[in-house]
Chain A
């Protein structure tokens, strides 16, 4: 492939990076990027719209999670977040860092058992864990932390999920690796792959755990 064609194909990537940096509406940026990539590859614009539409329709399952919002909204209306805060207030020894460490462990272990959807940002982080972590942080008396604790709660959910799920042998990424390697005539068992996820899972627990410990240090010890 020549230099010029090389650069042309990457134009779509440049559009997406530039568009995000310049803070145009991301949905428009994505569409523009698709159009540019398609044109660079010699597809006509109508075909790009069709390809994009088909992929959009095929990936509707990504947006199905929002059906939990009526349940969360209803329970929050009857005080779920306040209950979650109150629950933490009853335990003097619970700090934000320890709570999140516990949640990290829970998320890694359940994901490693294949139970990736027993928790998540809509189901557990927003209604339960984030209010609990904030209440615990307030109890530690370090003053206003802005959005730090909330953001770290969402981060903890992601870290726990990503570095737990690959230990489970029937998860999508493991099956993908088996399939790709098969394409090269290399046979690997899912189990061999999942074993190699364990060292990184332990490292993720350590690294993120240290950060949660540092969070507690910053927040200070409770005077309760």
Chain B
């Protein structure tokens, strides 16, 4: 069955090629190569080196990042060899494959792991697009990976930040950070005030999401502290809007925090923005009115 193992094998191979090419193209910047080699190792062998082994791998990644030796490429514009509009068709292979995968892959559970349909479609789309690219453009065999490695150098060590933050969430959960935040927010609500409870719930969702970088982590905490005991039980609110609108208030928080690195920091790097927080800053003027809208909507529904 094609599932995560297949996707991780593809990812491990891509990072292995990045590591090799980084070493060949810029031997003085061995830190980049080592960083990619560790990621490749993580994709290939993460399941067999044990939890502590993975922990050491993370420490090594962080040490390379903090050493300051991981460098973005010097601006070297690769010579473009212009082709026509068929490039758009090639660029749409991956999105088209995602479409096919989402719609069809769940119908063939014997062949493809339905839970991983999206990722499998992504990996298949990449392989298909690469195959077409080789056949049509006839680049050197290393060219796609050399160009890909340059883009990866631009993203830099920020590439693993989303994964690191997701892992931090696990440690926070174990340490009981959520319970404490829930206690604090729950204690801040004036007794018997629906408006106060709604405001604490919506703003609490946004703020705690900003701390955790993820509304999924904030929702169970705020549901336990305010949503279920106060909004649903005390004020008799309908649980469906309480949950749904609370989650969306959390999404407003996701727009406003560098902790949601895959949505906010990685795109800034991919677009080569000088301001690391440029995307966050562009989102705040949308997120704040939307948060107020969510709080108002919930208050209107409950009162």
Interface on A for B, CB 8 Å cutoff? Answer: 1, 6, 9-10, 12-13, 16-17, 20, 25-28, 30-31, 33-34, 37-38, 40-41, 43, 46, 48-57, 59-80, 82-84, 87, 114-119, 121-128, 130, 147-148, 150-155, 157-159, 162-163, 166, 172-173, 176-177, 180-181, 184, 186, 188, 192-197, 199-200, 203-204, 207-208, 211
How far, in whole Å, are A80 and B58 apart by their CA atoms in the complex?
A: 35
Interface on B for A, CB 8 Å cutoff? Answer: 4, 7-8, 10-11, 14-15, 17, 39, 42-43, 46-47, 50-59, 61-62, 65-66, 78, 80-85, 87-88, 90-91, 93-96, 98-99, 102, 118-119, 121-123, 125-126, 129-130, 133, 137, 139, 143-152, 155, 157-172, 174-177, 179-181, 183-184, 211, 215-216, 219-220, 223, 228, 232, 239-241, 243-245, 247-248, 251, 254-255, 258-259, 261-264, 266-268, 270-271, 273-275, 278-279, 281-283, 285-286, 289-290, 293-294, 297
B271 nearest in chain A by CB position: A150
How far, in whole Å, are A176 and B176 apart by their CA atoms in the complex?
A: 19
B54 lies within 8 A of A53 (CB)? yes
Residue in B55, B66, B129, B219 whose Cβ sees the most chain A Cβ within 10 Å: B55
A49 lies within 8 A of B254 (CB)? no
B66 lies within 8 A of A123 (CB)? no
Residue in A67, A77, A84, A148 whose Cβ sees the most chain B Cβ within 10 Å: A67
Given A56-B163, A73-B150, A61–B254 Cβ distance below 8 Å? no
Q: Smallest distance from the beta carbon of B129 to chain A beta carbons, Å? A: 4
Q: Smallest distance from the beta carbon of B78 to chain A beta carbons, Å? A: 5
Which residue of the partner chain, among B118, B130, B216, B290, contacts A117 with CB atoms under 8 Å?
B118
11 more CB-based (< 8 A) A-B contacts, given A17-B211, A180-B243: A25-B157, A30-B165, A41-B174, A55-B170, A56-B42, A67-B14, A71-B133, A83-B87, A117-B122, A154-B271, A199-B297
Residue in B158, B266, B286 whose Cβ sees the most chain A Cβ within 10 Å: B286
Q: Smallest distance from the beta carbon of A146 to chain B beta carbons, Å? A: 9
Q: Smallest distance from the beta carbon of B39 to chain A beta carbons, Å? A: 7
A33 nearest in chain B by CB position: B168
B68 nearest in chain A by CB position: A25
List residues of chain B with CB within 8 A of the CB of A10. Answer: 177, 180-181
How far, in whole Å, are A64 and B215 apart by their CA atoms in the complex?
A: 21
A66 lies within 8 A of B11 (CB)? yes
Q: Smallest distance from the beta carbon of B286 to chain A beta carbons, Å? A: 5
How far, in whole Å, are A76 and B148 apart by their CA atoms in the complex?
A: 10
How far, in whole Å, are A77 and B83 apart by their CA atoms in the complex?
A: 10
Given A37-B177, A121-B266, A181-B223, A64–B11 Cβ distance below 8 Å? yes
B273 lies within 8 A of A159 (CB)? no
List residues of chain B with CB within 8 A of the CB of A84. Answer: 88
Given A33-B168, A49-B59, A1–B51 Cβ distance below 8 Å? no
Work out how many contacts link A and B, with CB atoms closer than 8 A: 401
Given A9-B176, A147-B274, A154-B271, A20–B258 Cβ distance below 8 Å? yes
A147 lies within 8 A of B278 (CB)? yes
Given A181-B223, A207-B286, A34–B267 Cβ distance below 8 Å? no
Residue in A69, A79, A153, A184 whose Cβ sees the most chain B Cβ within 10 Å: A69
B175 nearest in chain A by CB position: A41
Which residue of the partner chain, among B133, B160, B171, B286, contacts A63 with CB atoms under 8 Å?
B160
How far, in whole Å, are A64 and B232 apart by their CA atoms in the complex?
A: 39
Q: Smallest distance from the beta carbon of A14 to chain B beta carbons, Å? A: 10
A70 lies within 8 A of B268 (CB)? no
A37 lies within 8 A of B172 (CB)? yes
A46 nearest in chain B by CB position: B52
A67 lies within 8 A of B170 (CB)? no
Residue in A28, A52, A116 whose Cβ sees the most chain B Cβ within 10 Å: A52
A123 nearest in chain B by CB position: B94
Given A37-B171, A125-B271, A151-B281, A50–B240 Cβ distance below 8 Å? no
How far, in whole Å, are A133 and B183 apart by their CA atoms in the complex?
A: 46
Listed by A's residue number, 9 A-B pairs whose Cβ atoms lie within 8 Å are: A66-B155, A74-B144, A78-B81, A152-B282, A153-B271, A154-B279, A155-B283, A159-B286, A177-B243
How far, in whole Å, are A194 and B248 apart by their CA atoms in the complex?
A: 11
List residues of chain A with CB within 8 A of the CB of B180. Answer: 1, 6, 9-10
User: Which 9 pairs show the lowest CB-CB distances between chains A and B?
Assistant: A73-B147, A53-B55, A53-B54, A70-B148, A49-B55, A55-B170, A196-B244, A41-B175, A55-B167
List residues of chain A with CB within 8 A of the CB of B170. Answer: 51-52, 54-55
Given A28-B62, A61-B4, A73-B150, A16–B211 Cβ distance below 8 Å? yes
A155 lies within 8 A of B248 (CB)? no
A197 lies within 8 A of B248 (CB)? yes
A54 lies within 8 A of B286 (CB)? no
List residues of chain A with CB within 8 A of the CB of B268. Answer: 151, 154
